[in-house]
Amino acid sequence: MLNKIKNILRLMLAFVKTKHFWKHFGLVILFYLVMVLATILYLDFATNHGQKIAVPNLVGMSASKAKQRIEELDLTYQILDSIYDPKLPEGTVVEQLVEPTSLSQVYVKSGRSIGLRLSKKSQLVEMPSLMHKQVQFAQSILEQRGLRYMIQYKPSAEANGSVLDQRYNGRRIKEGERIPIGAVVILIVGQNDEAEPIALPNLLGLTMSEAKQIFDTLGVGGYTFICPDCLTSQDSAGALIFSQSPEYIEGTTVFKSTQFILSMQKGGGGQNP
């Protein structure tokens, strides 16, 4: 057995010493080196190895100028979204992803996409439903949403002082439609013989009889007194008004047909100072 192993080793050693072995061994090494070199060259080309492009600061540029600058550097861009900022011109870059190299110290390679967020001067808001609401209430809702309004009166035997239609850009606008903040909504308001405006009275601190006297003088017929803790007519007579709707604002006018709601408290404990 030992002699057999020695013979095998002797034959292998003899084969290694032949030109045939060294020829094929050299070819294998050469093939290996060529494959390694080809792989390195491919990766270097595919990954732009060693390429360094400084990302410019695009914030404050117009969208067109920022796009031109990006394309000049063999980069690409993507508009992410728009941000409402009425102080900036429409389409100004307000944010960028990736950050500029001057801040991040990070370089990129060609083809890298830069995300842009642009400014917009208009912000959309949903249109509320104002149909059949008193015009003063409708006005306050529009003002809260940043919308402007114009009032056009339409003769009507009913719904005096109420909104009959709401229009925007010459058409009826439905509840939930989105329009720019600052847009002008036209309110078509019903008007009849009782549409004469009167000065809004301040009824806070008055008794029921005092308020009724003022209403009679002004020709107002629509009012309701609410006094949860008044159990007798004497309680109601002595109760004082602590809240009124429409709320009193000096210089405000309302229609005679306006419905007043007056909240009272027995003994005047809720009276405003």
pLDDT in tens, 48-73: 555 688 999 999 999 999 999 999 99
pLDDT (0 to 100) of residue 45: 57
pLDDT (0 to 100) of residue 114: 93
pLDDT (0 to 100) of residue 105: 87
Stretch 250-258: mean pLDDT, rounded?
80
Assess whether pLDDT exceeds 60 at residue 46: no
- 109, 174, 203, 227 from 209: Cα distances, Å: 84, 43, 11, 14
Assess whether pLDDT exceeds 60 at residue 43: no
CA triple 205-211-212, angle to 5 deg: 160
Residue 26 vs residue 112, higher pLDDT: 112
> In the 8-state DSSP scheme, what is residue 244?
E
Q: Give residue for tokens 């809004």.
A: 200
**Cβ of 143: how many Cβ atoms within 10 Å?**
11
pLDDT (0 to 100) of residue 202: 95
Q: Distance between CA atoms of 117 and 108, rounded to whole angstroms?
A: 20
> Of all residues in the chain, what percent carry a pLDDT higher than 70?
84
Strands 178-180 and 171-172: unpaired
Assess whether pLDDT exceeds 80 at residue 168: yes
Assess whether pLDDT exceeds 90 at residue 203: yes
Global pTM reads 0.40
Q: Distance between CA atoms of 32 and 229, rounded to whole angstroms?
A: 100
Give the confidence band of 270 by pLDDT, cuts at 50, 70, 90: very low
Assess whether pLDDT exceeds 50 at residue 13: yes
